[in-house]
Structure formats: structure tokens, C-alpha cells
Amino acid sequence: MKRQPPSPPASSLGFVPEPMTIPFEKILPTRKLAPELETTRKFKQIKATINAIGLIEPLTLAMPAAGSELYVLLDGHLRLMALKALGFIDAPCLLAIDDESFTYNNRINRVTSIQEHVMIRRAVERGVSLEKLAEAMDLDASQVLKKYKLLDGICPEAAHLLKDQQFSAEISRVLRKMKPTRQVECAELMIAANSFTVAYAQALLGMTPPNALLVNKPRKLKGLSPSQMELMEREMGNVHAKYKLLEQDYGQDRFLLVLAGGYLKRLLNNSAIAKFLQKKQATVLTEFEAIVRALPSDNGAGA
């Protein structure tokens, strides 16, 4: 009978699953917040959300040290500040097993614009009014409506490209004026340039051919003549085509560069070969050394 391999140890949570209500006098912050933070946009949104629907994410506390009744606050300083400003005297808290705050403040995923749009739509589908959402988010109702309609008129392919990005609802307004193919092209260009500003989107709209617009009308871009716009359009098309070619070849080229760099590094580590190149092919040696220096420090380390 074959012996069964030992089962892997069960993974443990980093905190106690059930929240506990802890009074504020037993919570010890790890840093002092400036009073000016109360005037920031983020603080006002947190305060408005708590006031409208309550605390969504509990505070995270470390277990008290031996002989102490104080819980160290690992995450939630702004929430604690907002709760105190609203007159609360305690709050639901999660008790962390590990006394560290790195995970809570650095290993986090920001909500993207499309994720926010999806959450707003789900809330509305479940009966929450836009006015209630606006109150909870401390936003004007018109802004919430724009977020609600973020993907109206946007083709699925362009939406998929933008799913991990933060962008203004005004960019969607610009993209809606284009046909789906052009929407995808503009989304790719914005990602390639890492620019999701309304001004850049409007510039792309201005360089869009009339036949790629939903409403075929003369394009106007302040300070540019029609001939200059046509020239920019051709140049943008060339740049886009070159970018797509580079995108296709980048992975393979990078792989070959790492292989070649590792080989050259081993080659130059051979003193006999290095001396020969120095004596017979000094120019080649210089180029080899430049290639090795250009590689990231970890490439070729294990070669």
C-alpha cells in the first residue's frame, strides 16, 4: 500500500474574522494626523459615507500587548478621525494576528473607474437612488449619473482595454462620438502613452477621420488648419502602426536580449577571452561590455 503524502498545512487568516466593537479610548493611533486633513476631499467623502450608510470597512487593530488594554491602530486613521468628528465613541474593528501595517497600506488594489461604475449600477439595480449614492459619496448627483452611464455607447472591446485604468467620465463622453473601431484605437493609444486626460482624448477626437465618427461633421481643432490636421492624422496612424509592431515583437526581443546578455556576461567573465578581445578586438569588447551594463542587475545572474 502506497503511503499518502502529508497534506499541506491549512492556511491561517491574518485577523480574527468577527469584528469587535472597541471604544476609542482603547485605540492607540500609530501616527498623528494633521488637522488640515479635515478639509481634504478624501476625508469629506469618508465622513459623508459614514454619515449616510455607516462604516463600511472596520478599523484594523493589533492585539494588545501583555499587560496592556490598548489596541494599536494598524489601518483606518482617517476613518477613526471621521468617526470622532461625527460624535461616535466606538467602532467595529478587526483584530489582526500580526502586528504590521505594511499589508494594509501597500498591498491594496485601487478601485478602477469601471469597477466603480459597476458598483454604482448594482446599487441602483438593488433600489438605491442616485441621490442617496451622491450623498454617500459626497458628490453632486450629476457626477454620480455620469459614473452610472460611464460605459453607455462604449464598445465592449474598448471597455475591456480600460478596465484596469482610472479615467474621468468626460473621456467616455469623448469616446462616444467615435465608432467602435476608433474607440479601441484611442484606448490603445491612451494606454500606450499612459495618458488618460480629457485633453488627450479630445486631441485624439480632433485627429479622428470623419468616417470614424458617429456624426460625420468637419473636425475643428483650435490653432490647426485642415491640412495640418490631416498631416497629424497620418503621423498618428504611422505611430500607432509602429507601436503595434513593437508590441508584437517586444516579448521575443526582450527574451533574446536576456539570453544574449547572459551569454556575454559569462563570456566576459572568462579572463582568457576578455584578454584576447582586449588585444585583438577592443571595439567589440567595448560593445559587449555596454550590452552587459545595459541589462538589469538580475539578468544573467544565474547564468
Instruction: List Cβ neighbours of 265 (8 Å cut-off, separation of 6 or more).
Output: 292, 295, 300, 303
pTM exceeds cut of 0.75: no
Q: In this predicted structure, what is the pLDDT of residue 1?
A: 44
Burial class (CB in 10 A: 0-12, 13-18, 19+), 104: middle
User: What are the structural domains, with CATH classification, of the chain?
Assistant: 20-103 (3.90.1530.10), 113-212 (1.10.10.2830), 226-294 (no CATH)
Cite the beta strand spans of the chain per DSSP E: 20-23, 27-28, 59-62, 71-75, 90-96
As a dihedral over the C-alpha atoms of residue 22, residue 26, residue 29, residue 34, rounded to 10 degrees, the angle is: 90
Q: In this predicted structure, what is the pLDDT of residue 12?
A: 57
Which residue bears the cell 494576528?
A: 97
Q: In this predicted structure, what is the pLDDT of residue 300?
A: 40
Q: What are 145-164's pLDDT values in tens digits? A: 999 999 999 999 999 999 99
For residues 73 and 28, is the Cβ–Cβ distance under 8 A?
A: yes
Q: In this predicted structure, what is the pLDDT of residue 11?
A: 46
Which residue bears the cell 460605459?
A: 151
The alpha carbon of 1 is separated from its chain's Cα centroid by a whole number of angstroms, namely 52
Q: What are 232-241's pLDDT values in tens digits? A: 667 776 776 7
pLDDT per residue of the chain (303 residues) written in tens, 0 to 9: 444 434 444 445 566 778 899 999 999 998 888 888 889 988 988 898 888 878 888 898 988 887 888 898 988 899 999 999 999 999 999 888 766 555 555 555 667 899 999 989 998 888 888 888 888 887 888 999 999 999 999 999 999 999 999 999 999 999 999 999 999 989 988 888 888 999 889 888 888 888 888 876 655 556 666 677 667 667 776 776 777 777 777 778 888 888 888 888 888 889 898 889 888 888 988 988 888 887 765 444 344
